[in-house]
Amino acid sequence: MPLARPVSDSTVVITGASSGIGTATAYALARRGCTVVLAARTEPALHAVARGCDELGGRALVVPTDITDPVAVERLAASAVAQFGRIDAWINNAAVGVVGLFDEIPVTEFRRVLEVDLLGTAYGMRAALPHLDAGGGGVVVNNASVLAEVAMPYQSAYNAAKHGIRGLADTVRQELRLTGRGNISICTVLPAAIDTPFFRHAANHSGRMLAPPPPVYPPEMVAETIVRLLRRPRREAYAGGAARLIGLQWRLAPALAERALAWYAHRTQFGPAARLDSPGNVFRPAGEAVPEGGWHGRRRQLIRMTAALGLAAARSAVGTVTAIARQRRDAR
Ligand SMILES: NC(=O)c1ccc[n+]([C@@H]2O[C@H](COP(=O)([O-])OP(=O)(O)OC[C@H]3O[C@@H](n4cnc5c(N)ncnc54)[C@H](OP(=O)(O)O)[C@@H]3O)[C@@H](O)[C@H]2O)c1
Active site residue 158: yes
Residue 158 contacts residue 147 (beta carbons within 8 Å):
yes
Residue 20 region by backbone torsions, left for phi larger than 0, else alpha for psi between -120 and 50, else beta: left
C-alpha to C-alpha distance for 147 and 190, rounded to whole angstroms: 8
C-alpha to C-alpha distance for 68 and 113, rounded to whole angstroms: 10
Residue 312 lies inside a defined structural domain of this protein: yes
Q: What is the pLDDT of residue 291?
A: 67
Bridge partner residues of 84 (DSSP)? none
Q: What is the pLDDT of residue 250?
A: 97
C-alpha to C-alpha distance for 156 and 105, rounded to whole angstroms: 9
By residue count, the chain amounts to 332
Distance 305 CA to ligand 1 centre (A): 26
Ligand 1 atom closest to residue 146's alpha carbon, by position in its atom list: 6
Residue 2 lies inside a defined structural domain of this protein: no
DSSP letter for each residue of 111-152: HHHIIIIIIHHHHHHHHHHHHHHHTT-EEEEEE--GGGTS--
137 CB less than 6 Å from ligand 1? no
Helix (H) or strand (E) holding 277: none
Q: What is the pLDDT of residue 272?
A: 86
Distance 307 CA to ligand 1 centre (A): 31
Distance 142 CA to ligand 1 centre (A): 12
25 CB less than 6 Å from ligand 1? no
Residue 109 contacts residue 279 (beta carbons within 8 Å):
yes
Scanning the chain, the segments in alpha helix (DSSP H) are 20-30, 43-56, 70-84, 107-113, 120-134, 156-178, 198-201, 219-231, 241-252, 254-268, 302-331
Ligand 1 atom closest to residue 197's alpha carbon, by position in its atom list: 19
Residue 330 lies inside a defined structural domain of this protein: no
What Å distances lie between residue 250 and 32, 149, 247, 311, CA to CA?
36, 8, 5, 17
Query: Three-class SS of residue 178?
Result: helix
What Å distances lie between residue 182 and 31, 121, 219, 281, 303, CA to CA?
29, 20, 30, 37, 44
Residues 6 or more apart whose CB falls under 8 angstroms from that of 85 comprise: 11
- Among 183, 235, 243, 190, CA closest to 216: 243
Distance 318 CA to ligand 1 centre (A): 39
**Domains held by the chain: number:** 1
* Nearest residue by C-alpha to atom 47 in ligand 1: 95
100 CB less than 6 Å from ligand 1? no
Residue 229 contacts residue 141 (beta carbons within 8 Å):
yes
Residue 8 contacts residue 32 (beta carbons within 8 Å):
yes
Residue 69 lies inside a defined structural domain of this protein: yes
Task: Give me Rg for the CA atoms of the chain.
Answer: 20
205 CB less than 6 Å from ligand 1? no
Residue 24 lies inside a defined structural domain of this protein: yes
Residue 309 lies inside a defined structural domain of this protein: yes
Convert the pLDDT of each residue in 112-133 to its tens digit. 999 999 999 999 999 999 999 9
| pLDDT tens across the length of the chain (332 residues) | 788 899 999 999 999 999 999 999 999 999 999 999 999 999 999 999 999 999 999 999 999 999 999 999 999 999 999 999 999 999 999 999 999 999 999 999 999 999 999 999 999 999 999 999 999 999 999 999 999 999 999 999 999 999 999 999 999 999 999 999 999 999 999 999 999 999 999 999 999 999 999 999 999 999 999 999 999 999 999 999 999 999 999 999 999 999 999 999 999 999 888 877 899 999 999 866 666 788 776 654 554 555 555 555 556 556 556 656 666 666 66
- Report the DSSP pairing between strands 89-92 and 11-15: parallel
Residue 331 lies inside a defined structural domain of this protein: no
Distance 146 CA to ligand 1 centre (A): 15
Residue 208 contacts residue 265 (beta carbons within 8 Å):
no
Q: What residues make up the domain containing 302?
A: 7-325
C-alpha to C-alpha distance for 245 and 313, rounded to whole angstroms: 14
95 CB less than 6 Å from ligand 1? yes
Residue 1 lies inside a defined structural domain of this protein: no
Q: What is the pLDDT of residue 316?
A: 57
Residues 6 or more apart whose CB falls under 8 angstroms from that of 306 comprise: none
Which one of 158, 217, 238, 264 is the catalytic residue? Answer: 158
CATH number, domain containing residue 274? 3.40.50.720
